[in-house]
Amino acid sequence: MVTEHSEAVGDTSALALKILVAGGFGVGKTTLVGAVSEIRPLRTEELLSEAGQLVDDTDGVDQKVTTTVAMDFGRITIRSGLSLYLFGTPGQDRFWFLWDELSQGALGAVVLADTRRLEDCFPAVDYFEHRRIPFVVAVNCFAGARAYGAHDVLRALDLDRGTPVVLCDARDRDSGKEVLIRLVEYAGRMHTARLLDSVG
């Protein structure tokens, strides 16, 4: 979603960009949105239930007691006149019907990854690649997880050449903001290149 609206004060035009935050179950999507949002984030979390134990793989995220069932929403101003609206997607397969709605008009996406469960981000990577939505992979560096470099993750995920992979701490506002800036820069280059191809 790229929208323009007038500021309350003055007549300057402001740009609002829609960004998705995706990835596997328990990877830190809600944490990232909450850490960077300058407004109180909207959360649609529910307690994990016994019924969900049959379908939610909590291996490696044993301390997790809630899960997002619709979306998380937050907003961050990157600079004067540029705001990002963040939509955190639910991680489980059974909620993926929401992804098509949430992805409408998105500039790009952050795919959060956990190297302890790297395969959990494959579906999100596939989703954005097939829909040609620019994305960056942000490796959430959990305490106690084996450290891998960005190049190792890029190879393990078999990403298209040039897809950014960044290391981050989803709990840290500055770290999350750097991820979002990297995405905006990358998505801007991708959209410009496609525009030039279409008129060339």
**Between the CA atoms of 123, 155, 173 and 99, what dihedral angle is there, to the nearest 10 degrees?**
-10
Q: What tokens were used for 123?
A: 């579906």
Instruction: Please state the pTM of the whole predicted model.
Output: 0.81
* pLDDT, position 146: 84
* pLDDT, position 9: 45
- How many contiguous H segments (helices) and E segments (strands) does the chain have? 5, 9
Exposure string over 123-156, b if 16+ CB within 10 A, otherwise e:
bbbebbeeeebbbbbbbbbbeeeeebeeeebbee
Whole-angstrom Cα Rg for the chain: 17
Using CA of residue 97, residue 3, residue 30, residue 28, what is the dihedral sign?
positive
- Per residue in 64-95, pLDDT (tens digit) is 455 544 578 999 998 899 999 999 988 766 66
Residues (pLDDT < 50) of the chain are 4-11, 48-49, 51-52, 54, 56, 61, 64, 68-69
Q: How far apart are CA 23 and CA 20, in angstroms?
A: 10
**Between the CA atoms of 65, 150, 121 and 77, what dihedral angle is there, to the nearest 10 degrees?**
70
Q: How far apart are CA 27 and CA 190, in angstroms?
A: 26
